[in-house]
Amino acid sequence: MERFDFNYAPFNYLNNSERILLQKSVNIAFFHDDETIIKPEEPIEFLYVVMKGLVKEIGADGEMVSLYRTHDTFEARGLIEGISHHQFIVEEEALVYTIPKAVVLEIIDANPRFGAYCYASVADKFASLSNSKNESEFESLFTAKVRDAYRNNPTWLEGSDKLFHAAEVLKERKTKSALVRHEDKVGVFTESAFRDMVIACGSPDEPVYKWSAFDLIGADIDDFVFNALLKMMSYRIQRVVVTENGTPVGTLEQIDVLAYLSNHSHLVAQRLERAKTIEELVDIAGQMTDSIRLLRSNGVRAPQLAQLMQVLNSSLFEKAWRILAPDELYEHSCLIVMGSEGRGEQVLKTDQDNALILGEGVDMDLATETAEKFSETLAQLGYPPCPGKIMVNNPQWRKTLPAFKKMVSGWCTSPSGESMMNLAIFIDAKAVAGDISMLAEVKAHLQKVMINDVGMLMSFARAVDQFDSQSKGFFPQLLKRGQSEKMDIKKMGQFPVVHGIRALSLEARIEETNTFERIRRLAQLKVIDEALGKDVAEALSYIMDLRLTANLAVLDGGGTEEAPNQLDFDSLSTLERDLLKDALQVVKRFKNVIRHHFHITA
């Protein structure tokens, strides 16, 4: 008997006694071309590991959903459940290891990590297995203390201060948050309160404490920066209150963490605050990509990196607009970013997706001239022009507040393909500079004019199938010798999830723009099943990780001509391929949910 290879997942998780047990029980089986190894709905008695050859997996709909090659394992979940709903057919003469079911079950009982691989939910499987890096890679993140990175001169407000006064203080101090003293309690007041106040038709004369949060998430001044970062990620917040002996002494924000970890001598955040010229911003923007590489190499995952970069990018765009726009234009305009940047899901620099809402009476010639400079400046900063011209230098995306409202209304009443695309882009919008209440007003207007028209929502959701032909053709393509084994991971994996969640959120009138936050809200509202929500969120996280890795490889190789988002399937490890197959199965399952929900037919 040839010695079993334990160097690949999940068998590299076995201890010595478990390896001896498996080696004694494993056998080898040979299968001819086109021979069926597993038939659907029939009992399974073995776990299979490919030694040589190719085995294809055919779904219940007759579509090829996966391809297994040397070191790949199948069909663990079907083995545990007793049957598989899919068929496994030999594409090329295959030699496979067969591990008896009784042995697999015994090892699962003794080894939780192996068990997670075989039978955990998709969400648990990703969480348990996708980041099995050496702990030494994280050591540098744990050396920085909160006291080294936090803002020790916080802005303070009294709970009785009026909202209008709070706005003046935040503007003067150039900050987005302040600590609030009220009735022996300390809270946090953030600029998002102004949006909430507008939506609630509140008054600027109301006291600050009514719009402050007093259920604070804190971090001790002597704790590690990375622990504070994990709290921000866990609670999906942008800052924690720093305490010393239980007393609030300052705040630590995501942008502070990113800046500190990326460059100890020249903090990005502080450089942005001090920057007065576009030339300074160009240098800072270049440093941001280096920050991504460092944080990624230290184990920070793509979704969390994206949220951190959203904060940093917003500050960069705000500073650029402040430098370029005269005061009268800055105060009476609202610069917004859309798409992945608005959702907080873009890590590396991508095409510009922005717009400008203008107050009535603004000098339109001045606005046009400044918008042209801004688009040119973003290109200098490394954000290329949008092929679809969704930029502030395009008059279609630079309108007065009434005209912007009218445009948004038109998208809903005339649901053409272009209108639905524009609506999808806009509902992810986030204000980054100027009078942010303008965006809140346009979104409030959208809520009023949008009726849950079944036809409109179906037209909107239909884009989930926009790249369906690519996903159906990818695994069969791997069978063609000499063909590329690269997939567009954004089109095949990320876009269907993002847009499907976006469609459900539009129908449910959910205000959140981040896809992960939308998933959480949809699960809370029982729009989607909680278990499905967890699977979709973990699958999306993993897909974003793979996409970031692929795009960083292009950058590091200097391959500016190479198409972005192209994942080399053949370069993935056995574990990475297995997790990708799981992720794509979740995407497929979710797309079916969307099709059923919105009555989308072929």
pLDDT in tens, 72-86: 999 888 888 889 989
The CATH number given to 456-597 is 1.20.120
Residues 462-490, mean pLDDT to the nearest whole number:
73
CATH pick for 11-119 out of 3.20.20.70, 3.40.50.720, 2.60.120.10, 2.40.37.20: 2.60.120.10
**Per-chain mean pLDDT for the chain:** 86
Tokens 């979940």 belong to 77
Q: Dihedral (C-alpha) 46, 48, 54, 58: value to the nearest 10 degrees? A: 60
Q: Residue 585 above 70 pLDDT?
A: yes
pTM summary value: 0.72
pLDDT of residue 14: 94
Sorted by sequence, the CB contacts under 8 Å of residue 173 that are 6+ apart come out as 155
Per-residue model confidence as pLDDT tens digits over 296-335: 776 778 888 888 788 888 889 999 999 999 999 999 999 9
Share of the chain above pLDDT 70, in %: 89
Residues 427-441, mean pLDDT to the nearest whole number:
95
CATH architecture of 301-450: 2-Layer Sandwich (3.30)
CATH pick for 145-260 out of 3.40.50.12160, 3.10.580.10, 3.40.250.10, 3.40.50.150: 3.10.580.10
Per-residue model confidence as pLDDT tens digits over 216-233: 889 999 888 877 877 886
- Which residues in 170-199 are b (16+ Cβ under 10 Å) and which e? beeeebbbbbbbbeeebbbbbbebbbebbe
Domain layout of the chain by residue ranges: 11-119, 145-260, 301-450, 456-597
Distance of alpha carbon 126 from alpha carbon 298, whole angstroms: 19
Distance of alpha carbon 334 from alpha carbon 51, whole angstroms: 60
Per-residue model confidence as pLDDT tens digits over 396-422: 999 999 999 999 999 988 878 899 999
pLDDT of residue 265: 34
**Same CATH fold, 456-597 and 301-450?**
no
pLDDT of residue 353: 93
Are residues 331 and 361 in contact, defined by beta-carbon separation less than 8 angstroms? no
Distance of alpha carbon 472 from alpha carbon 130, whole angstroms: 25
The radius of gyration of the chain from alpha carbons, rounded to an integer in Å, stands at 26
- 442: closest CA among 468, 403, 474? 403
Per-residue model confidence as pLDDT tens digits over 102-154: 999 999 999 988 887 777 666 666 766 555 543 333 444 456 788 877 877 78
Q: Predicted confidence band at 273 (pLDDT cuts at 50, 70, 90)?
A: confident
What's the token pair of residue 7?
């160097």
Give the per-residue SS3 of 494-549.
Answer: HHHHHHHHHHHHHHHCCCCCCHHHHHHHHHHCCCCCHHHHHHHHHHHHHHHHHHHH
